[in-house]
Structure 1
């Protein structure tokens, strides 16, 4: 392998922050920031082009993105690829490949990378595989969770993802649990390398709960459970709401930090259960406020139905906050001791309620929680990734 600083890597993915959606998959930027200190990095983040008369709500923001940009010192290119929203989803990889072949060919002619790191199994993985194979470049595809747990439920996507992953040089998985699912697709186990995500311990660190709540204008005396999550079905926020309704202590509140397609449905559930005074929706927040919310919590909760490696659990532990979570995906690999939190089966509000009450009543050791993740930095993740590439 070349010396790390001589290694030329192309990161190619659509799941990356941009000026229109600065909080999108921020952990991918954290990885790229560290990788650029260890290798020569080119970051290409394609964005969809949809004719204005066909574009549904949300797509117009992409038109404002510059073709070349810089986010926090990281240079990024945003080439456009044609898509038809809500139609031909199984062909998106081929739309991308056809639209952007000239763009990537230009990159390969002027500064051919030693390897491509394609993040997300589909459509990103398939497109990057086709680009790599047509230009004789090694390809590593990083799988993150939903790209396997959710997408393979669709028969055509399952076939395309399996075909792609079996032809890549290596597959990166964030957890042993996700690796098991990838191997089930027919990928040789020796080709699937587990590299868990990291955490910024200098950013996510314990501070006074009273101070955190004061900065967020929250009640300083009530017991509060916090979840920081996308409001989508797979995140199981409805399970947490149902659990709160089952708690006998009606003074405990649940703070829902995040937004998503399920918000209206969840608000209706809160009203149906009559817990409007105990469940609060705070919507999307700037990333720099997340440590405050994690420190403001008495307990952090996650009700996910599926997961890869939820970074927010690492961040909560780094803040010294105990966790109650479902035992799905890579979560038991993070919460690998009863001294760190309580694991419950998915889809079980009653058990979730009991565990939340137990966690609220128990005394936890914040330093022991923080120690669990103190040696897992994004620098470590970047170093392991570069070594593989």
Structure 2
């Protein structure tokens, strides 16, 4: 059987300049390629910016991104698109598609006549991919990952564009059932809605000796809590700090490490000082994926105090290292935390509720080996098989159309 030719399309894909950006999209593709049944090229557009001067921060990284590169044996093109200030949200699908059009044609001219466009993140990426699919007369799948369906549809015009793209797609994929329930609720054909959860790399994320990791990282705490993600309100690091303050009243040895960077950093630091736990909170900034393994292994509990999540990879990564989780009971999270050895779900997004759940988890006894065994049920194999079945079916249908 000839290999399937897949064009992966997303602004969420790592580059040599931003190696951790969208790593979950690359991971799913790499796992798919291991099947030996697929050839892939990636188009990962980046916003156009004129200067590589570091003082421009992330914008400079856009400018420094190479036009084309090889990553882990995958050919990745990074065409530029115009992201306009203020009106960017509604214009992005069109500017994204226009910016990528020449790159798609280039791949076709080079002989990569792909069978399907596999787009990730419904808006703007999925809508742009739907335009490209229409222009090049190719079938399309779009994967929903979280805020693209649980937040963005609050805006009427983006919602209409998402609806159009979903109608254009031969298949929609959700990383959790809750996301496909959104499209089902809008009246989309259930036969074209598929749940293919993210897996976890069980070789990369594995238990390391907890005491050794604490010594190496220079951390201590009883319990040692971890909160990982961008420093934005939605991720709830402020709730984690409030939970620490609650715990510390009776357990002065409690400590919290927050891994991530973002706009809330100053506010989080101020909150820790106001609650009297500044000496118990450590903000590490952003860390590479490879370093997270050590932090997960060092911690007693991972906290995920989010208000919205599709399928949070950090939960499985932590569990694969033997560390249970306490997480808000929202969206796809109950599909990840579905057994006692995985951790606890919290109905109320408050420091007091999280502190109580941490206490309950520890009182019940933490079996790190059992947590790891639970995570081993989330390998990538089922997702890879599901993708192959879907792509083959789409190719076959297009052939007979």
After TM superposition, is the score higher than 0.5? Answer: yes
> Which aligned pairs between 1:1-389 and structure 2 lie closer than 5 A?
3=1, 6-37=3-34, 38-52=37-51, 57-109=57-109, 110-219=111-220, 222-247=222-247, 248=249, 249-389=251-391
Deviation, 1:189, is 2.1
For the residues of structure 1 that align with 2:29 and 2:12, how far apart are their CA atoms? 12
For the residues of structure 2 that align with 1:284 and 1:57, how far apart are their CA atoms? 14
For the residues of structure 1 that align with 2:49 and 2:62, how far apart are their CA atoms? 9
Deviation, 1:313, is 0.8
Deviation, 1:331, is 0.9
Deviation, 1:160, is 1.4
For the residues of structure 1 that align with 2:158 and 2:56, how far apart are their CA atoms? 23
Question: Cα gap change, 1:294/1:306 in structure 2, threshold over 3 Å: closer, same or farther?
Answer: same
Divergent runs of 4+, >4 A: none
Deviation, 1:100, is 2.7
TM-score (norm 2): 0.91
Deviation, 1:87, is 2.9
Structure 1: state its 5+ residue gaps: none
Deviation, 1:108, is 3.1
- The answer to whether the Cα contact below 8 Å between 1:166 and 1:186 also exists between their aligned partners in 2 is no
- Post-superposition Cα deviations, 1:253-286, rounded to whole Å, max 9, x if no partner, equal 1111111222122112112222101221111112
For the residues of structure 1 that align with 2:263 and 2:257, how far apart are their CA atoms? 18
Deviation, 1:95, is 1.0
RMSD of the alignment, in Å?
A: 1.9
TM-score (norm 1): 0.93
- The answer to whether the Cα contact below 8 Å between 1:339 and 1:369 also exists between their aligned partners in 2 is yes
- The answer to whether the Cα contact below 8 Å between 1:162 and 1:186 also exists between their aligned partners in 2 is no
- Post-superposition Cα deviations, 1:221-259, rounded to whole Å, max 9, x if no partner, equal 642111222211111111111111122222201111111
- The answer to whether the Cα contact below 8 Å between 2:51 and 2:60 also exists between their aligned partners in 1 is yes
Structure 2: state its 5+ residue gaps: 392-401
Structure that is richer in helix per residue: 2
Kindly tell me the number of residue pairs found equivalent between the two proteins.
Answer: 384
- Post-superposition Cα deviations, 1:356-385, rounded to whole Å, max 9, x if no partner, equal 122233312222212222143234423321
Partner of 2:395: none
Question: Cα gap change, 1:327/1:85 in structure 2, threshold over 3 Å: closer, same or farther?
Answer: same
For the residues of structure 2 that align with 1:242 and 1:182, how far apart are their CA atoms? 35
